[in-house]
A and B are shown apart, each in its own frame.
Chain A
Amino acid sequence: MKTLLVYLAVSAFCVFFSTVYSHFGHGVRSASMSLLFLYPLLGGAFAYLLVWLFCPAPERIRHSRVHFNLYNAGIATLAVGSTLRGVFDIAGTSSPYTVLYFAAGWLFAGIGALGFIRSAITRSRAGASGER
């Protein structure tokens, strides 16, 4: 629940940051900047809401700490990559490195999510076996 609230706060900060930055963009808009908040909101808060609803046992999170760390790193990387792309869009330039942020971000988030799901399923089966 704490992680969910942190992600909500980060989403709100992203909305504030992109609004202020775009205000000084002399009319230039960037979807990467305007929609920046979606990464922490959907990838962070919403994802953790699902975990909280369907996998409430805290020990499952503890046992999947590496996966959660990877997932959080992925969402952070995607958000920073989107911010950079927005800054470059508004400035009228680009960088070949921004694509690396999205590649690394999706990779980390994907590995983290899959790892957590696999871990949760394994523990669920182990728990079910133990109940018999």
Chain B
Amino acid sequence: MHVFHKPFRWAILYTLILTLATAYVLLDTFVIPRAGTAAISTASAASADTDTTVETAAGAQSDADPDETAAVITDTSYTDGNIQITLETIYVYDTAVYIADIQVSDASYLKTALAQGLYGRNIKETTSDMAEENGAVLAINGDYYGFRNDGYVIRNGILYRDVSGDNEDLVIDGEGNFSIIDESGTTAQSLLDAGAWQVLSFGPALVTDGEIAVSADSEVSQSKSSNPRTAIGQIGPLHYLVIVSDGRTGESAGLSLLELAGLFYERGCTVAYNLDGGGSTTLWFNGQVINTPTDGRSYGERKVSDIVYFI
């Protein structure tokens, strides 16, 4: 105990302990991959031949019939018997904005995927790698759920996380319809029971009930100024709009949430939702990255936890 009466010995020892502890916390938060397991529970269509029963939503999607129609692909469009996508690039608010109008024949063409097919923290892949592995036609980054410890996670009918982050969530049901819920008012399990097929937790909601839901002051805590953005909205049944903006570059300032919401509103979306943006923002279409992904310091795709894609 006498040794601790010496000020410098104590200071050196404690500084060492504090440094090591802090290094571990930083590595644990940003680097060390930690695979988790689904908060498993299944639905009406659950299979009974496995030890663990994976709970899926009541209105589980069925795989659509494969369509043999050959796809017609151009730089700005994709068309086959089940999916029609047109990609438009505009320049507004000093920012390059990419707008994809997507019509599908069945809700099963709208999917999500997890990096490396695994749920967990710091398990990451680039959007383009995940898109290629899953045969996507168009893909965007998701909510980067693996960067946080809270926020509901339901993907393709499987409940992975039922920890509320008091966020506004985007719920996509088995029919492909969008709705917005508040995590503080419900549980992920009850959403699953009610037929949620995908739940993305980032936000905020940009458009709800056909009205703009954000103001100039209501900004997401993760990004409060003009930034690269990724967002998705619904115009009508099986008709969607994906908007991705550049930002943090000399050519593009980025969009505020209000500006982004306005773009969805002008195009007739009834629901629109902001996904992870900033350095995560990536739009992948017809085999290539369309936007200019950057975190403001360097260019290139960031590895993220998940994607939303059309197949």
Residue positions of A touching B, CB distance < 8 A: 24, 26-29, 65-66, 68-69, 72-73, 76-77, 80, 84, 87-89, 91-98
Q: Could you tell me the distance between the alpha carbons of A84 and B147 in the complex, rounded to whole angstroms?
A: 15
Shortest CB-to-CB span from A60 to chain B, Å, is 14
List 22 A–B pairs whose Cβ atoms lie within 8 Å, in order of A's numbering.
A24-B297, A27-B223, A27-B225, A28-B223, A28-B224, A69-B7, A69-B14, A73-B14, A76-B18, A80-B18, A80-B22, A87-B26, A88-B29, A91-B30, A93-B30, A93-B147, A94-B148, A94-B150, A95-B25, A95-B28, A95-B149, A97-B25
Q: Could you tell me the distance between the alpha carbons of A89 and B224 in the complex, rounded to whole angstroms?
A: 12
Which of A26, A65, A73, A88 is the one whose CB lies under 8 Å from B5? A65
Q: Could you tell me the distance between the alpha carbons of A108 and B222 in the complex, rounded to whole angstroms?
A: 33
Which of A69, A87, A88 is the one whose CB lies under 8 Å from B4? A69
Interface residues of B in 214-234 (CB under 8 A from A): 221-227
Interface residues of B in 1-46 (CB under 8 A from A): 1, 4-5, 7, 10-11, 14-15, 18, 21-22, 25-26, 28-30
B278 touching A26 by the CB < 8 A rule?
Answer: yes
Q: Could you tell me the distance between the alpha carbons of A27 and B219 in the complex, rounded to whole angstroms?
A: 11
Shortest CB-to-CB span from A88 to chain B, Å, is 7
Whether B237 is near chain A, meaning CB under 8 Å from some CB there, is no
Nearest 8 A/B pairs, CB to CB = A27-B225, A92-B222, A69-B10, A27-B224, A97-B25, A95-B29, A93-B147, A65-B5
Residue positions of B touching A, CB distance < 8 A: 1, 4-5, 7, 10-11, 14-15, 18, 21-22, 25-26, 28-30, 147-150, 221-227, 248, 278, 296-297
Chain A residue numbers with a CB within 8 Å of B222 are 28, 92
Shortest CB-to-CB span from A64 to chain B, Å, is 10
**Count the A-B residue pairs with Cβ separation under 8 angstroms: how many?**
69
New A-B pairs, 8, CB < 8 Å, besides A24-B297, A27-B227, A65-B4: A28-B222, A69-B10, A72-B11, A77-B18, A91-B30, A92-B148, A94-B150, A95-B149
Q: Could you tell me the distance between the alpha carbons of A80 and B14 in the complex, rounded to whole angstroms?
A: 12
A28 touching B14 by the CB < 8 A rule?
Answer: no
Q: Could you tell me the distance between the alpha carbons of A97 and B30 in the complex, rounded to whole angstroms?
A: 13
Which of B1, B14, B29, B278 is the one whose CB lies under 8 Å from A93? B29
With A72-B11, A73-B14, A96-B149 already in contact, the answer to whether A28 and B25 are too (CB < 8 A) is: no
Chain B residue numbers with a CB within 8 Å of A77 are 18
Chain B residue numbers with a CB within 8 Å of A94 are 148-150
Shortest CB-to-CB span from B165 to chain A, Å, is 9
Shortest CB-to-CB span from A82 to chain B, Å, is 12
Q: Could you tell me the distance between the alpha carbons of A88 and B248 in the complex, rounded to whole angstroms?
A: 21
B225 touching A26 by the CB < 8 A rule?
Answer: yes
Chain A residue numbers with a CB within 8 Å of B227 are 26-27
Shortest CB-to-CB span from A118 to chain B, Å, is 17
Q: Could you tell me the distance between the alpha carbons of A37 and B303 in the complex, rounded to whole angstroms?
A: 34
Q: Could you tell me the distance between the alpha carbons of A24 and B25 in the complex, rounded to whole angstroms?
A: 21
B28 touching A97 by the CB < 8 A rule?
Answer: yes
Shortest CB-to-CB span from B244 to chain A, Å, is 17
Q: Could you tell me the distance between the alpha carbons of A55 and B120 in the complex, rounded to whole angstroms?
A: 54
A92 touching B18 by the CB < 8 A rule?
Answer: no
A92 touching B25 by the CB < 8 A rule?
Answer: no
